[in-house]
Amino acid sequence: MSLLNSRPLSSCFREAEKWLFVFADRQAAFNDLMSKELKSPKKQTNEHNLITCDTPTPEKPKQDFEVMDEDVDYALSLV
């Protein structure tokens, strides 16, 4: 039995349309509540007072690490 034959198509459209109306109503109610909620004041930014840094970033020493045999075996098993 296919899904299309289990229920008339017009019934599916009515159900989808009903769901859409319920969703739209809930969305409108949510938007109404959000418009009433107190909004925090806008924080000051330093957009017009940019911070510049002329000091170069120190280079980190490269760190040696040990490759474990299990990692190599696992990596080779994926090939």
Per-residue model confidence as pLDDT tens digits over 1-30: 455 556 677 788 888 999 999 999 999 999
At residue 20, the pLDDT reads 93
For tokens 């090939």, the residue is: 79
Question: In this predicted model, what pLDDT tens digit does every residue of 56-68 receive, in sequence order?
Answer: 777 888 888 776 6
- Tell me the Cα Rg of the chain: 30
How many CA within 13 A on the CB side of residue 65? 7
Q: Using the predicted structure, report yes or no on whether residue 41 has a pLDDT greater than 60.
A: yes
Alpha carbon distance 42, 55 (integer Å) = 32
Say how far residue 62 (Cα) sits from the centre of its chain: 34
pTM above 0.85, yes or no: no
